[in-house]
């Protein structure tokens, strides 16, 4: 770190900039709002509208629809947090939580369509292809590992659900808001620390070993997804191949995101190996789905 102090300093600056310009504005509003909505019955409302589909397609309880929908819009590693919350509220069994965490891992849609599609690949169409493939590959993972036995779905009237929510005793709003802000920032600061750590490690490896372009991309992608995606976008490859590789990188997400997920589920009965297996399968599926779509429409 002393020898390559300038590179390390630039890496830390880049990491803070990445967090400040991308993660903070895209994740913080979702984390804060969902935390507030959860306290006021959002889980029950989402479960009413989408719970039946979770039961039919994935053999999971209706409450799991909350984790799926919110993780789709807020981006990783929020999915693991929502699965953990449902487990701690006794809305999921250990087995159900270990299934759900396999397919509630999504990159932020704005990051894929704008940052990757518009700025890195300079073609938003490919951003949408990557996003679609990323979601479909996750759904396929969900179907591959679903339980064989059918879940019994109990429907309720919407006015009964609203009455139950209204009758629950809530803390005062200021207390809920303060706690929601603290919990959201705790997760975001943890993400910043882990991302910075892995970016420094990647920088030092690249400088010490003097790797060629291929291995630099490989190391960057393995340790920190954002750096890897940026490196791939600069390679002299056909855009469909670059899109497929980027899709695979996003789906695996890199050790940085894996450590974030591991730190969230630590102390619970959710197994990290389930999450890891799902990411490997999803990245392979996403790669080939992108190539297939590109061959059909482009």
Q: Which residues contact 143 (CB under 8 A, 6 or more apart)?
A: 57, 58
Q: Which residues of 27-61 are buried (b: 16+ CB within 10 A; e: fewer)?
A: bbebbbebbbbbbebbbbbbbbebbeebbeebbbb
pLDDT value, residue 156 = 58
pLDDT value, residue 45 = 76
Q: Which residues contact 225 (CB under 8 A, 6 or more apart)?
A: 249, 250, 252, 253, 254, 256, 257
Closest CA to 3 of 137, 296, 204, 150: 204
Secondary element (H or E) of residue 207: helix 173-209
Q: What is the pLDDT of residues 164-191, one digit of tens each?
A: 656 665 667 888 888 888 888 888 888 8
Q: What is the pLDDT of residues 250-288, one digit of tens each?
A: 999 888 889 889 988 998 999 999 999 999 999 999 999
CB 129 within 8 A of CB 286: no
pLDDT value, residue 160 = 56
pLDDT value, residue 231 = 85
Q: Domains of the chain: which residue ranges?
A: 5-297
pLDDT along the chain (298 residues), means of 10: 87 86 78 79 73 81 84 82 88 90 89 85 91 95 82 57 60 82 86 86 84 81 84 88 94 89 90 94 96 88
pLDDT value, residue 161 = 57
pLDDT value, residue 252 = 93
DSSP state of 76: T
Residue carrying the six token digits 């306290």? 39
């Amino acid at each position: 770190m002393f020898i390559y102090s300038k590179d390390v300093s630039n890496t830390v600056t880049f990491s803070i900039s990445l967090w400040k310009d991308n993660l903070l504005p895209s994740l913080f509003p979702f984390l804060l709002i969902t935390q507030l909505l959860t306290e006021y019955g959002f889980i029950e409302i989402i479960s009413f509208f989408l719970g039946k589909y979770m039961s039919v397609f994935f053999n999971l309880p209706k409450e799991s629809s909350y984790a799926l929908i919110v993780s789709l819009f807020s981006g990783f590693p929020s999915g693991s947090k929502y699965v953990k919350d449902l487990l701690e509220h006794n809305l999921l069994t250990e087995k159900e939580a270990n299934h759900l965490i396999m397919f509630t891992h999504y990159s932020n849609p704005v990051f894929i369509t704008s940052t990757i599609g518009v700025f890195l690949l300079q073609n938003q169409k490919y951003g949408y292809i990557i996003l679609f493939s990323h979601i479909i590959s996750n759904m396929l993972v969900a179907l591959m590992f679903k339980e064989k036995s059918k879940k019994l779905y109990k429907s309720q009237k919407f006015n009964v659900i609203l009455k139950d929510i209204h009758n629950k005793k809530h803390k005062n709003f200021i207390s809920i808001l303060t706690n929601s802000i603290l919990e959201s920032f705790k997760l975001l600061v943890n993400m910043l620390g882990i991302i910075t750590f892995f970016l420094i490690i990647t920088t030092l490896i690249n400088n010490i070993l003097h790797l060629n372009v291929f291995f630099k991309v490989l190391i960057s992608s393995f340790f920190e997804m954002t750096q890897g995606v940026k490196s791939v976008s600069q390679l002299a490859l056909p855009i469909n191949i670059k899109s497929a590789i980027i899709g695979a990188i996003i789906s695996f997400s890199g050790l940085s995101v894996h450590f974030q997920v591991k730190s969230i589920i630590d102390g619970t009965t959710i197994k990290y190996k389930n999450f890891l297996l799902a990411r490997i399968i999803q990245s392979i599926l996403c790669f080939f789905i992108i190539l297939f779509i590109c061959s059909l429409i482009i």
